[in-house]
Amino acid sequence: MRQEIGQLEIATRGQGLVEITREVAGWIASTGIETGLVTLLCRHTSASLLVNENAAPAVQRDMLRWLDQLAPEGAHYEHDDEGPDDMPAHLKTALTGINLSIPVSNGCMMLGTWQGIYLAEHRTHPHQRRLALHVIGE
């Protein structure tokens, strides 16, 4: 059994979804591990990770609108240290999560046909987001 640890840095353009499936797949390939489990951790409290459909762009737009309805910006939050998008970003992260675990077989993630991995940026302004990656297997 082997394990590898790595990091990815992802530039965001502000609020939205960034598909990172290829970047993660490339990192797994670089480890040489063929069978195992990859774990991803978003090292932030205002961005998150999710697996969702990557074929129809309307899915991503609907997801973002739904999150905005659940956690709208406004003056009704006590926590606003970094602006009006601060607390809504934390709530969206709590709803969507910061980690993923995905089985690896034949050197590839066992995602479904239409599944992709997304980094969700919940802040208004662009950021550099860091992800920790860990794969264990052989």
**CATH number of the domain within which 105 lies:** 2.60.120.460
DSSP notation for 31-82: HT--SEEEEEEE--SSEEEEEEE-S-HHHHHHHHHHHHHHS--STT-S--TT
Domain range for 104: 2-137
Number of domains in the chain: 1
The predicted structure's pLDDT at residue 35: 98
Percent over 90 (pLDDT), the chain: 97
Angle at the Cα of 136 (from 34 to 18), degrees rounded to 5?
85
pLDDT bracket for residue 56 (50, 70, 90): very high
Q: How far apart are CA 56 and CA 41, in angstroms?
A: 25
How far apart CA 95 and CA 79 sit, in angstroms, is 17
pLDDT in the model for residue 19 = 98
pTM: 0.95
Residue 62 pLDDT level (bands cut at 50, 70, 90): very high
